[in-house]
Amino acid sequence: MSSITFDTLKFVERLEKAGVSREHASAIAEAQKDAFSEALDNQLATKSDILRLENKIETLELRLILKMGGMMVVAIGIVATLVKLL
């Protein structure tokens, strides 16, 4: 889970200076904090998410290379057998 530093007190004080009541400013600050938290949880990848995906890609690449190598060995075997038959 990701987190973001959000100074709700400073945010509330700034809204109060602009004429918003403390009660409303506090509610807005909490709503803003929740919105940041939800956005981070649902949309942004963390470094560990990216590393996990990179590891999966490397594993898939290795599997693909091994399968292609195996297919080449089989193809060479088939060609060698056909050459012997001719």
Q: Same domain for 55 and 86?
A: yes
The number of folded domains in the chain is 2
State how far the Cα of 46 lies from the Cα of 7, in Å rounded to an integer: 22
Do 35 and 62 sit in the same domain of this protein? no
Angstrom distance (rounded) from CA 23 to CA 52:
43
Q: What is the pLDDT of residue 45?
A: 75
8 and 38: one domain? Answer: yes
pLDDT 10s digit of each residue in the chain, 86 long? 556 677 889 999 999 999 999 999 999 999 988 888 877 776 677 889 899 999 999 999 999 999 999 999 999 999 999 988 88
Distances from the Cα of 38 to the Cαs of 23, 24, 41, 71, 72, in angstroms? Answer: 23, 21, 5, 47, 49
- Same domain for 22 and 60? no
Q: Which domain holds residue 25?
A: 1-44
Q: How many CB atoms lie within 10 A of CB 25?
A: 20
What's the rounded Cα separation, in Å, for the pair 56 and 4? 28
24 & 52 share domain: no
Model pTM? 0.45
In a shared domain, residues 83 and 52: yes
Which residues are within 8 A (CB) of 1 and not within 5 positions of it... i.e. 6 or more apart?
A: 40, 41
